[in-house]
């Protein structure tokens, strides 16, 4: 089967982007990363993508000010010009308009550093620690107009430790992100996901461990 053509949208350092690029090097991976686009000139991830031999583009959002849709029309044109089939948001820090989301409905994924629907928005690790949750994690989901919502493709969890800070927790959650985003793209690109009544179902998965209990009581 032909590999699906994927663009990754970034605003920053692009560590999730790198995880996707690495995963896509595998011969049996069902997607190829053909383009990385940043809305911020000089974003750290751009150089990493170029070093990996991936074409990059910068479509700056700043000059468009509040006219989000004008920015997105330009972004959309670049994606279409490259025959992109799937879009992965990876630390792309722009709210998207319903117009753009509609163009890529069912074909655009996002990664969020929390177990959605808990902790939508910013500062997820700080807020999870403030609430004293014992399990935290990350989610890859299809993008819908409402922020940090949409059918969940995959989630990964970590145990929260009493002495965690937002930074220490972020490191472990990021490790999970780098694992689940390539898995999510594998599922979607290979056609193993289907959307049913606003939920994402998957075919042919292994069975995960039944339980993650935190703290472990000994
Ligand atoms: C990641 O932790 C990602 O989950 C988060 O930004 C970081 C980007 O890091 N995204 C969001 O908070 C979106 N709501 P990266 O540039 O190294 O992939």
Residues 150-186: tens digit of each pLDDT:
999 999 999 999 999 999 999 999 999 999 999 999 9
**172's tokens:** 């472990």
CB count within 10 Å of CB 5 equals 17
Per the structure, the complete domain to which residue 95 belongs is given by 1-104
Residue 157 shares a structural domain with residue 97: no
Residue 136 shares a structural domain with residue 89: no
Return the ligand 1 atom nearest residue 12 CA.
16
For the Cβ of 188 lying below 6 angstroms from any atom of ligand 1, the answer is no
- For residue 153, give the CATH number of its domain: 3.40.50.170
What spacing in Å lies between the alpha carbon of 122 and ligand 1's midpoint? Answer: 10
Q: Please tell me the distance from the alpha carbon of residue 102 to that of residue 145, in angstroms, as a whole number.
A: 8
Please, is 170 exposed, middle or buried when counting C-beta atoms within 10 Å of its C-beta (0-12, 13-18, 19+)? middle
For the Cβ of 89 lying below 6 angstroms from any atom of ligand 1, the answer is no
Residue 90 shares a structural domain with residue 158: no
Q: Could you give the percent of the chain with pLDDT greater than 70?
A: 100
Residue 11 shares a structural domain with residue 100: yes
Residue 55 shares a structural domain with residue 19: yes
Known active-site residue 112: yes
Does the predicted model carry a pTM greater than 0.85?
A: yes
- The total number of structural domains in the chain stands at 2
CB count within 10 Å of CB 78 equals 15
For the Cβ of 149 lying below 6 angstroms from any atom of ligand 1, the answer is no
pLDDT score recorded for residue 210 = 84
């Amino acid at each position: 089967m032909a590999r699906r053509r994927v663009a990754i949208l970034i605003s920053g350092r692009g560590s999730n982007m790198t995880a996707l690029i690495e995963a896509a090097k595998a011969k049996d991976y069902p997607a190829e990363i053909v383009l990385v686009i940043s809305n911020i000139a000089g974003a750290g991830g751009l150089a990493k993508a170029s070093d990996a031999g991936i074409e990059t583009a910068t479509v700056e959002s700043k000059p468009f000010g509040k006219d989000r849709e004008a920015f997105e029309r330009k972004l959309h044109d670049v994606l279409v010009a490259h025959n992109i089939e799937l879009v992965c948001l990876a630390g792309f820090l722009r709210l998207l308009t319903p117009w753009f989301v509609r163009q890529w409905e069912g074909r655009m994924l996002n990664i969020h550093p929390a177990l959605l629907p808990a902790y939508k928005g910013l500062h997820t690790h700080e807020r999870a620690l403030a609430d004293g949750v014992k399990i935290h994690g990350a989610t890859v989901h299809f993008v819908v107009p409402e922020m940090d919502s949409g059918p969940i493709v995959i989630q990964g969890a970590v145990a929260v430790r009493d002495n965690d800070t937002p930074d220490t927790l972020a490191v472990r959650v990021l490790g999970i992100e780098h694992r689940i985003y390539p898995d999510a793209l594998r599922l979607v690109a290979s056609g193993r996901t289907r959307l049913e009544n606003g939920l994402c179902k998957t075919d042919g998965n292994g069975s995960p461990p039944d339980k993650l209990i935190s703290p472990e009581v000994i």
